[in-house]
Structure 1
Amino acid sequence: MQLEVRPDPAEVGRARRWARSRLAGSGIEADEPLAETLVLLVSELVTNAVVHTGCPAVLRLSLAAVAAEVATVRLEVADASDRAPVPRCPDGDETGGRGLALVDGLADRWGWSPEGAGKRIWCELDRCERPEAPEASCSGVAPEYEGLAYGAYEAV
């Protein structure tokens, strides 16, 4: 499944809606932590492509069979820029520059590779039906990051 994205910031919202509809069609409920995390990752990667390249991009979603106990969801964004993604360390007052840090913290795996004259940035989230033990996490969020967003919002 793929969506062509124009170089317009308004496309980020369209990409999120598209991803939600694809997840719903695959049996992943909108309120599952995996779906919420994936939509955030779509938002970050599509925003990076639109803002930093000024060129069209292609968003791809690959969903493994949901019937499996563990399934992997792969998200890819291909753009026409050959510049490598560079994680930044913005200071507390900057409003941007945290996208790749979020991807790194929320995805089970991520990376990038050259593609034609441009590049492809990808990330993967693992899903399981239900954790066996309360401390197990199959939400797509690494255990050390569980609750991080809640805590950050709470402090504001």
Structure 2
Amino acid sequence: MKKKLCISLGMACLLGILFSMGTVSGDSMINNPKISAVPALQPIVPSPNIDGVVQLNWLLVYNVVGYSIYKTDPNGVTVRLERVWRGSTYRVSGLTNGIWQFQIRNVYNQNFGEFSNIVSIEVIIGGIIVDPPDTKDPVSSLPIEVIIILLIIGAGAIAIGILAFTKKGKKK
């Protein structure tokens, strides 16, 4: 009798946990507030873009089927590129001159989540992008031969200093 009661209570607890998670009830996990994260697109670089090809990047959101990807052209027309993309990067090509905008949204089993942030990029086909100034450490840009010579000179100076100090001590 006690064994049957323990098994019954155990099953009741298990079912209670499953219902509270939304995996057995009719709600499914779509309406579970624990997974309602909105994807965040990362900035597109470089901008301006000169070849009309960009890569969209975002962090994966837990418990989604995939992502719908949207682009808005310079005239304001929005088009869905993918309905259910399964990944965290997407390459877009064939962009023409102008400012393009992109958004994604989560796709669940039966519905869509909220839209992500909007990322924009200006496309200038054949334009010139100026490289940023060189910010390297000046020592690391020296040729290896110069660094070796400086090390030898420094080691020689240290050796001469040690010899001079030890000879001075022996004269006493």
Give yes or no for TM over 0.5: no
TM band (smaller chain): under 0.3
TM-score (norm 2): 0.23
Q: Which has the larger radius of gyration?
A: 2
Q: TM-score, normalised on structure 1?
A: 0.24
More helix per residue:
1
